[in-house]
């Protein structure tokens, strides 16, 4: 996966609750420490199916949102979210549109290849989404269904591990005053059943504002991933538990630079503990960025 796409994904996830529906543009960068045998930033040659070595690298970051309000009920928008770019519209509480990953992603054509240089392949993903938001006093519930197609340019794996897929994501985001609860179900319906999986995530969070211009957000997440069939190379049906922790800060008008400017700091750690070392994953990301609201 390209570093820019990952940086965009992480920072948008961590900062989403701090921006609401404001128009903004933001740029920055940071560092990513990662253990992941499937990442093309891992060693190109491996000799066994053990846990990946740690890799640390710089990651650029960019995010934006622009919303045009046609009237009080209808709006059109272009924004970035979790590494995606969305073009959509809202009509009252209904939300729908198209989604695409615009920055080229890469994975290994055959991540299981031993004692040879693993080659890279491009991965593309696009689709659409529809959602609905319920509001009642201080309570808000946002429901969304997203479906995308995932295409590998050159997938060198056997048929039971083929990774071309349809990805379905169903999410429910609850907020009450300063408290947040997010639930998400993902079904990765791959051509090869040993690469298909179901993923379940729950995240609780809290956000607040201090000193009138300092926004704070923190969250803890837990989840599970279950693959559909036995991996024929590793001889095991893979499952994993997932834990994550997030902290984000946003300082408006730093050093009186301008009321529409801000500085953000975002930190996120994620761990996937699988029943086979080859599938274990760890990520620790930190991003500093500057932005302008308009």
Summarised one tens digit per residue, pLDDT across range 92-132 is 999 999 999 887 689 999 999 999 999 999 999 999 999 99
Please, what CATH class does the domain formed by 3-293 belong to? mainly beta
Say what percent of the chain tops pLDDT 70. Answer: 92
Summarised one tens digit per residue, pLDDT across range 179-216 is 999 999 999 999 999 999 999 999 999 999 998 899 99
pTM greater than 0.85 (yes/no): yes
- Is residue 57 very low, low, confident or very high in pLDDT (cuts 50, 70, 90)? very high
Summarised one tens digit per residue, pLDDT across range 6-25 is 434 444 444 444 444 579 99
Q: Which residues contact 159 (CB under 8 A, 6 or more apart)?
A: 191, 192
Q: What is the pLDDT of residue 16?
A: 44
Neighbours of 69 (CB within 10 A): 12
CA pair distance 283, 292, nearest whole angstrom: 28
Within its chain, how far is the Cα of 125 from the centroid?
A: 13
Q: What is the pLDDT of residue 258?
A: 86
Structure tokens at 131: 């959602």
CA pair distance 105, 41, nearest whole angstrom: 12
Determine contact, residues 214/250, Cβ cutoff 8 Å: yes
CA atoms within 13 A on the CB side of 142: 15
Of residues 129, 148, 11, 142, the one with CA closest to residue 80: 11
What would the mean pLDDT of 275-287 be, rounded to a whole number?
A: 97
Summarised one tens digit per residue, pLDDT across range 144-168 is 999 999 999 999 999 999 999 999 9
Q: How far is CA 113 from CA 7, 45, 75, 165, 238, in A?
A: 28, 8, 49, 22, 18
CA pair distance 160, 108, nearest whole angstrom: 17
Q: What is the pLDDT of residue 105?
A: 86
* Average confidence score pLDDT of the chain: 91
What would the mean pLDDT of 78-88 be, rounded to a whole number?
A: 87
CA pair distance 10, 132, nearest whole angstrom: 24
Q: What is the DSSP letter of 254?
A: G
Of residues 275, 286, 210, 215, the one with CA closest to residue 246: 286
CA pair distance 39, 111, nearest whole angstrom: 9
What would the mean pLDDT of 40-58 be, rounded to a whole number?
A: 93
What are the boundaries of each domain within the chain? Answer: 3-293
Of residues 137, 134, 133, 110, the one with CA closest to residue 121: 110
Structure tokens at 174: 């609850």
Q: What is the pLDDT of residue 17?
A: 41
Structure tokens at 283: 């990520």
Burial of 34: CB neighbours in 10 Å, binned 0-12, 13-18, 19+: buried
Determine contact, residues 104/119, Cβ cutoff 8 Å: no
Can you say whether the dihedral through the CA atoms of 286, 184, 140, 23 is positive or negative?
positive
Q: Residue-wise over 262-285: b if at least 16 C-beta within 10 A, else e?
A: bbbbbbbebbbebebebbbbbbbb
């Amino acid at each position: 996966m390209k570093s820019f796409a990952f940086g965009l994904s992480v920072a948008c996830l961590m900062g989403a609750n701090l921006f609401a529906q404001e128009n903004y543009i933001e740029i920055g960068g940071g560092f990513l420490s990662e253990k992941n045998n499937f990442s093309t930033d891992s060693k190109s040659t491996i000799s066994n199916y053990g846990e990946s070595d740690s890799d640390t690298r710089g990651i650029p970051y960019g995010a934006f949102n622009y919303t045009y309000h046609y009237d009080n009920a209808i709006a059109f928008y272009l924004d970035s979210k979790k590494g995606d770019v969305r073009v959509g519209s809202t009509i009252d509480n209904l939300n729908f549109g198209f989604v695409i990953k615009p920055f080229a992603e890469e994975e290994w054509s055959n991540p299981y290849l031993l004692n040879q240089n693993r080659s890279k392949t491009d991965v593309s993903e696009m689709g659409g989404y529809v959602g609905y938001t319920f509001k009642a006093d201080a309570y808000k519930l946002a429901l969304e269904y997203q479906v995308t197609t995932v295409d590998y340019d050159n997938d060198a794996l056997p048929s039971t591990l083929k990774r071309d897929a349809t990805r379905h994501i169903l999410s429910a985001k609850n907020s009450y005053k300063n408290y947040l609860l997010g639930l998400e179900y993902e079904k990765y319906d791959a051509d090869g059943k040993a690469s298909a999986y179901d993923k379940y995530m729950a995240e609780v969070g809290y956000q607040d504002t201090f000193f009138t211009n300092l926004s704070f957000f923190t969250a803890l997440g837990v989840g599970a991933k279950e693959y559909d069939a036995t991996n024929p190379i590793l001889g095991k049906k893979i499952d994993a538990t997932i834990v994550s922790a997030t902290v984000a800060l946003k300082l408006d008008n730093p050093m009186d630079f301008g009321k529409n400017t801000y500085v953000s700091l975002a930190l996120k750690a994620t761990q996937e503990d699988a029943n086979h070392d080859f599938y274990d994953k760890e990520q620790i990301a930190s991003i500093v960025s500057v932005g302008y609201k308009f």
